[in-house]
Structure 1
């Protein structure tokens, strides 16, 4: 029986994937898996029982990923599950940046008298805007969200240019061939009328756009940040809009410094706030964590490599270890010394850590427990567990 702990409200459509025959939810303080949305876990004392943490969302800044990695806890996210919701908000914000729709709607509410229609016709000129068609949009980061924004902006008639030195093969196939590719990020900064950022928050992307980058932009450029607040330097943006060399800034991350400025639109982190996105994220998080707990498969992890292998043997041994030379040899020799036959084996490394799946033709649980004990004695091994194949009878 696996124990699952949740933080925040997780959509039932996702939690229902944990069948009652094999899972209990929020009934133990020593869970095997954790699912959360925005809860911060940096001060959370992880029980030794925790094997995996799944975040129903793309960002994992609320999870101490490095600490989890050192403890052999696999951290998952749900890239792409909320991409459509964020994409729609970005497109809406592009439209709002050129058409004063909100201002006009507020103005109408204050009208009085019997000739409101005449007042509207006489004063609507003050809300005249511009069109997106024919304007140039730069998209920095062509992941799930950036690719969708680029494609839809092109369909609106915009000229779209994208920059991403690390675009995946899957994403490359999904991007319209009419989206142009920038080989240097500075090409985006210096030529585009609108710039939208869709990159993860890493040390090298913190303040990706600051004084230097803003100075390259045309004074008519409008900037959008629906990625993470720290990607764009707020002080630099304030100076740019106040000094007139940035036309506008829209962000989904509230910052007191950016409030009450007519050139800045601050949204209350609405990017993934749709019922559909929450359901999609919950389903993906539950499915990923369930697969990991039951088979050891790692997919969509932010701290360990993707490792998948068909499971046909009676038992599977999973090993998380430091990525040092000859670990595969040590693992296989330890298992062989315990007189256990290896049916299949796969190993993948990621940075300083590696993950190995070993399928064994063995049903003697005492022998399996012994080999786990032997593997755990290796100082470079962080975590070992055995998984019984419940799909086939032996």
Structure 2
């Protein structure tokens, strides 16, 4: 998705835009449309042929209301537009599509497994994977940053989920196909629906084998934790565990790879790279939060109204689908001054890129640690980076992403030596 600098959205008619269409996010200008909607139609209904349609929520405060209020807005029927009007089969079985209090049964043990102390154990190996992927840049070779970032994301998730490294490329490809089945790069001849179904079948079959292996040989990992969770007095079924593992992998691959690509593109195009590089120690955290706000990698989260609700004078009926556009909320002028400016010094920064309320991303600490290491390694080892080709944007109404972004870097002295260092502690 293009992170455009909105100039004038007064001529944009929100009724003429199909926010369901994945191609719009690869070819169009969503931020221009969201700007128009925030100003003139902050709660907007879109009809969908053959389905009931959905409400779009584009203002920050309204987004918080929908995401946190599980009494009026439920996750159990599905949270993504890709299954609009279809009941999610994982409802009340998978953490992402479960409401409190049942949600906590799944979330609490996983949150413990993803706490800072546990994630710290994986940091040396995550740093090593990042260095391996950045090393070609130090040798003067162009790299596809988007592809490399996707690999880093899967590697971090693979380490945390204790999945074999030889499987990471397959998991990257299948996850991308499942979240962007309309994109020409992943689209099968049978169409996007079959593309998504096949990716799901292969991912679920993969995790079925992983779970079966853990039943025979339990380990100290998240898969084994899920095997011990009880819901409604019974252990989770094989299918429920597989579904939750898929959700965790999807969550990792949604956030981590698309934050650096969108951020570095902005730094390159607006000559901001040197400022953050020279001031990284001071603005590491605020810069990372701004990168998350700027990229807003998960474009939307969907809920269904459990009751009749009025938002900004609009009557939302029980059963209506309600879509919160995260990228729009994160550029709400009422909350963020100069929202179309990438500002590493921005404080406070109340972005909701990890969601809000009960479903705030359970893996947010792991994502922020991985991203922090990535930015640190890039700024430590490279004086500058530049585009080597025009970026290609992903066709997805869920992921605000770049699928290809060729870059060249100017390495600092000793960058090759630094990046090629692999200590015994990192390997172990």
Higher helix share: 2
TM-score calculated relative to the size of structure 2: 0.23
Higher strand share: 1
TM-score calculated relative to the size of structure 1: 0.24
